[in-house]
């Protein structure tokens, strides 16, 4: 188990820190006195969050970077900006991500290509830039937010699930590549959670979104603890662990059928109470 010592001078970069898991990660790192680099498109939300966490926890520095990670230039710009400021990133949390719901033959290709740039390419770019520096220092940690759908094909969210399968595979491969160094990579695999994700993916009426949702606080805590222990993978939540485990047993066609059911719109009849069905 590789642990980093003392973190008063350490800095974490969190993408997608303006909401959901990213916001909860920012709170957890701030509580443990990490300096923060917060990245998202909503600069004002980031400033409000970052500066209030700085005051509350007496952090040495907080850096707000308003950036759209669906632009291929953004990762290099973020890296260059931090180099210019002399800020070393000790921990990288690749959390920003988005999905789009619908049949692939009906959804907009441009949006899907943006999602691939955000969920996959920007993670590869940021990891390339910051991992090289971590290897040079022989110290660092990376947390990549994957998903429980990393383990299974997901009809009606086909591109999204495929991006998350990439993240899991990529993270675990790199974890092995650096196993003899003082560097760890961790993949966090949450299930359906109570963030803006489903609404933004136009999937808020699906069975998955209308079912039992994990709290972003719990998911971030699981990810944070696994990252600090240097675990290669953490599936957050008991039911999600069962679902991920089932992917080792069931054929992909059965997993796809189950996921399609989850990703279909929940009919009003399923919302009726048992009494009203009598």
Ligand X SMILES: NC(=O)c1ccc[n+]([C@@H]2O[C@H](COP(=O)([O-])OP(=O)(O)OC[C@H]3O[C@@H](n4cnc5c(N)ncnc54)[C@H](OP(=O)(O)O)[C@@H]3O)[C@@H](O)[C@H]2O)c1
The residues binding ligand X (CB under 6 A) are 15-22, 40-42, 68-70, 95-98, 118, 145, 147, 190, 192-193, 195-197, 200
Nearest to 137 by CA among 182, 176, 92, 174: 182
Comparison of 139 and 204: residue with beta carbon closer to ligand X = 204
Least distance (Å) between residue 233 CB and ligand X:
14
Q: How many residues are listed for the chain in this entry?
A: 278
Q: Rank residues 44 and 56 by Cβ distance to ligand X and give the closer one.
A: 44
| Helix (H), strand (E) at residue 205 | none
* Cα 23 from Cα 143, distance rounded (Å): 15
Q: How far is the CB of 39 from ligand X (least distance, A)?
A: 6
Alpha helices (H) along the chain: 20-31, 43-57, 74-85, 109-116, 122-137, 158-177, 197-200, 207-210, 216-229, 238-246, 252-263
Distance in Å, CB of 102 to ligand X, minimum: 16
Tell me how far, at minimum, the Cβ of 274 lies from ligand X, in Å. 27
* Nearest distance from C-beta of residue 143 to ligand X, angstroms: 11
Which of 92, 157, 154 lies closest to 125 in space, CA to CA?
92
How far is CA 106 from its chain centroid? 26
């Amino acid at each position: 188990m590789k642990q980093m010592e003392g973190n008063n001078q350490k800095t974490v970069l969190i993408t997608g820190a303006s909401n959901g898991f990213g916001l909860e990660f920012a709170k957890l790192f701030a509580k443990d006195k990490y300096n923060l680099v917060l990245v998202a498109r909503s600069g004002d939300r980031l400033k409000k969050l970052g500066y209030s966490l700085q005051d509350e926890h007496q952090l040495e520095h907080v850096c707000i970077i308003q950036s759209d990670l669906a632009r291929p230039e953004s990762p290099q710009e973020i890296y260059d900006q931090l180099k210019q400021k002399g800020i070393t990133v000790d921990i990288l949390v690749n959390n920003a991500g988005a999905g789009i719901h619908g049949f692939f033959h009906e959804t907009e290709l441009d949006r899907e290509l943006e999602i691939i740039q955000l969920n996959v390419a920007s993670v590869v770019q940021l990891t390339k830039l910051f991992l090289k520096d971590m290897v040079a220092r022989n110290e660092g940690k990376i947390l990549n937010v994957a998903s429980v759908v990393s383990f299974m094909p997901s009809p009606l969210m086909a591109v999204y699930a495929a991006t998350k399968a990439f993240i899991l595979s990529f993270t675990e491969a790199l974890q092995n590549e650096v196993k003899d160094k003082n560097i760890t990579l961790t993949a966090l695999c949450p299930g359906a959670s109570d963030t803006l994700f489903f609404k933004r993916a136009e999937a808020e009426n699906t069975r998955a979104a209308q079912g039992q949702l994990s709290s972003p606080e719990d998911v971030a805590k699981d990810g944070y603890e696994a990252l600090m222990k240097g675990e290669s993978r953490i599936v957050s939540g008991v039911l999600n662990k069962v679902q991920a485990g089932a992917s080792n047993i069931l054929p992909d066609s059965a997993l796809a059928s189950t996921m399609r059911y989850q990703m279909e719109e929940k009919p009003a009849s399923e919302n009726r109470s048992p009494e009203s069905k009598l």
